[in-house]
């Protein structure tokens, strides 16, 4: 068994992060714009403040992409290379994130409806990002 190819994890992870950033833009700007506007209004967060978060969210998506590809590389010896393993790795990380956001829903950040909608959209994002990043990974 060979070790993890760190260069390929980073390459695939950055591309996966780019895909995740594209999904985030579409989700926050179009598919969930009204829900996020409502959440931010409840929290009394200004538009200027939300603009200041863009860099942080973009960087987080790139780290998310690297984590997706790292997880794929780590489980690949057990599950085998390919899309099935990329889907497993994406689902594992999405599930961890969805559980954390569920806690935020319990304290009122999301409504149950916005939680379910965002969870479904971000599952698609996680799976596509994982598939793209994993396609670039080679041992």
- Its pTM stands at 0.94
Q: Is residue 26 part of a domain?
A: yes
Q: Is residue 1 part of a domain?
A: no
| Overall domain count for the chain | 1
Tokens for 76, please give them.
């690949």
Handedness of CA 99, 104, 107, 112 (dihedral sign): negative
Tokens for 128, please give them.
């596509």
Q: What is the 3-state secondary structure (H, E, C) of the chain?
A: CCCCCHHHHHHHHHHHHHHHHHHHHHHHHHHCHHHHHHHHHHCCCCHHHHHHCHHHHHHHHHHHHHHHHHHHHHHHHHHCCCHHHHHHHHHHHHHHHHHHHHHHHHCCCCCHHHHHHHHHHHHHHHHHHHHHHHHCCCC
97-114 pLDDT per residue, tens: 999 999 989 998 899 999
Q: Is residue 79 part of a domain?
A: yes
pLDDT value, residue 108: 87
Terminal C-alpha separation, the chain: 10
Q: Is residue 129 part of a domain?
A: yes
More confident position, 83 or 109 = 83
Q: Is residue 33 part of a domain?
A: yes
On the question of pLDDT at 1 being above 80, the answer is no
Q: At what angle do helices 112-135 and 54-79 cross, to 10 degrees?
A: 60
Which residues span the domain enclosing 108?
6-135
**Residues 75-87, mean pLDDT to the nearest whole number:** 98
Residues in the chain: 139
């Amino acid at each position: 068994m060979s070790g993890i190819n760190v260069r390929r994890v980073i390459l695939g992870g950055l591309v996966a992060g780019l895909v995740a950033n594209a999904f985030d833009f579409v989700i926050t700007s179009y598919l969930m714009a009204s829900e996020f506007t409502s959440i931010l209004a409840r929290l009394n967060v200004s538009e200027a403040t939300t603009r200041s978060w863009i860099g942080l969210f973009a960087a987080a998506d790139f780290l998310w992409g690297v984590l997706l590809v790292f997880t794929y590389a780590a489980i690949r010896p057990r599950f085998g290379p390919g899309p099935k393993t990329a889907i497993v790795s994406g689902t594992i990380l999405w599930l961890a994130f969805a559980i954390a956001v569920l806690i935020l829903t319990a304290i009122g950040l999301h409504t149950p409806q916005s939680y379910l909608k965002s969870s479904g959209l971000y599952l698609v994002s996680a799976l596509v990002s994982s598939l793209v990043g994993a396609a670039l990974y080679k041992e």
